[in-house]
Amino acid sequence: VQGAINRIELVDGDGRKHRLLVQNGAHAAVWRLAEARVSPLGIAALFAPVIPGVEVTAFDLQMPFLYWPDAVLQSINRILGRPAHAFLFRPPADFAAEHPEVAAARAFLDTQFNALLQTELIGRDGRILKTFSLVSLKTVDKQPVPKSVDFLNGITRDKTRLQVKGIALHLDLAPSLFEPAALAEEIGPPAAAKILRLDP
């Protein structure tokens, strides 16, 4: 099963660009452009911050556990005031060998729309290592769009909030732009008329 493919470009505080291609699904992978070279990230590198000083990693963006085969439905919980199915995912052997500190991941999906509301990365001692939380949504053209999300480090209690300031839907993008080799290619922003600015 092939999951979503996301091309991501971030700019750090020093103005440096960081570009990644994040592939989810049964054959999940992440590629990064660095010094004009595109390279795949190993399992260990997935847990490094994507840019200095933030609590967001390639693993957080990829969420590969959603495709781990060993999953069970645990319960129904209320998340953001909505009923959500709580699924527990156990890591496959190759991941567990690289990251023995990770015992499982839990994902909460809205019972009506199957939308992801929250995830938790669980340590061997039962502590929550990392939490992703959807803070707010906006429906645009009948499509729910996240307005803000939080990434919370359960050990240090450091938090990074990502806020969506504008979106552009129905873009006609060439599939080749989502190939690893194309990461070196610059993609300009959509025309201003296509960008819908979201209220704070």
Which residues are paired to 70 by β-bridges?
A: 90
The yes-or-no verdict on residue 19 having pLDDT over 80 is yes
Mean pLDDT of 75-90: 93
Q: 79, 118 in Cβ contact below 8 A? A: yes
Q: Is 155 exposed, middle or buried (0-12, 13-18, 19+ CB in 10 A)?
A: exposed
Q: Using alpha carbons only, what angle is made at residue 47 by residues 41 and 50, rounded to the nearest 5 degrees? A: 75
The yes-or-no verdict on residue 121 having pLDDT over 70 is yes
Q: Using alpha carbons only, what angle is made at residue 182 by residues 176 and 184, rounded to the nearest 5 degrees? A: 160
> What is the spatial distance between Cα 20 and Cα 98, in angstroms, rounded to a whole number?
22
Which one has a higher pLDDT value, 89 or 43? 89
Average of per-residue pLDDT values in the chain? 91
Write down the pTM of the prediction: 0.87
- pLDDT at residue 90, as a whole number: 96
Q: Is 172 exposed, middle or buried (0-12, 13-18, 19+ CB in 10 A)?
A: exposed
